[in-house]
Amino acid sequence: MGIDPGTNYMGYGVLEVEGRTVRSVVLGDIDLHRLSDPYEKLRTIFERVGALIDEYGPREAALESPFFGENVQSMLKLGRAQGVAMAAALSRGMQVFEYAPSRIKQSITGSGAAPKEQVAAVIGRMLRIDRPPRRLDATDGMAVAMCHYFMSSSPLNAALGSERKKGLGGGRKAASKEGSSSWERFLHDHPDRLIER
């Protein structure tokens, strides 16, 4: 499941993966713009994300990490929305991953600065989505899911495991049972990758 956090619209997409076949199960957005109480928005995010997880049963959740902008209040609101969506997934025992906005765009279009419209067009072609959603937040959510699929199916990322950087190109949630041992294991298993200085 991919989630594009937002305080007005929160985009989401669920993928089904069988071997190398990937298909779109559902994509859409959670409409929050009519809610004026910020705490009501957070409650709605938690309930709706939880309901989507209960209905479609994804095993993993990937979220776009907040980007750093000049408006601190906007960043705080976005971070809260992301945290509540993350908590909904964690409360159901899901693994949670984060990806930077530029990494998501790059994995879909090849450019980390691609506009939302380009991301939506590529997602539509990749997943053969005949009727595009009303808002680009939905395709942004599906783009997060596709980015996670690409990152988790990459041999290098699989080898690095939990050592992938959180929020800087996609990583597993910070709390890892393996800790730094996965990096040590990777170097042990691939001594040819170590460069002596």
> Is 81 in contact with 45 (CB distance < 8 Å)?
yes
Q: Is 31 a catalytic residue?
A: no
What is the residue whose two structure tokens read 């959180």?
Answer: 166
* Catalytic, out of 29, 64, 98, 163: 64
pLDDT, tens digit (0-9, with 9 covering 90-100), for 140-195: 999 999 999 999 886 655 544 443 434 444 433 333 334 445 556 655 665 655 55
What pLDDT is attached to residue 157?
58
pLDDT tens-digit readout, 19-61: 889 999 999 999 999 999 999 999 999 999 999 999 999 999 9
Q: Is there a catalytic annotation at residue 4?
A: yes
Mean pLDDT of the chain: 85
> pTM value?
0.79
Distance CA 12, CA 169 (A): 19
Domains and CATH numbers, the chain: 2-193 (3.30.420.10)
The Cα–Cα gap between 113 and 48 comes to: 30
Q: Which one of the listed residues 29, 98, 137, 140 is annotated catalytic?
A: 137
**Which of 63, 82, 29, 83 has its CA nearest to residue 147?**
63
Nearest to 4 by CA among 30, 26, 35: 30
Catalytic, 137? Answer yes
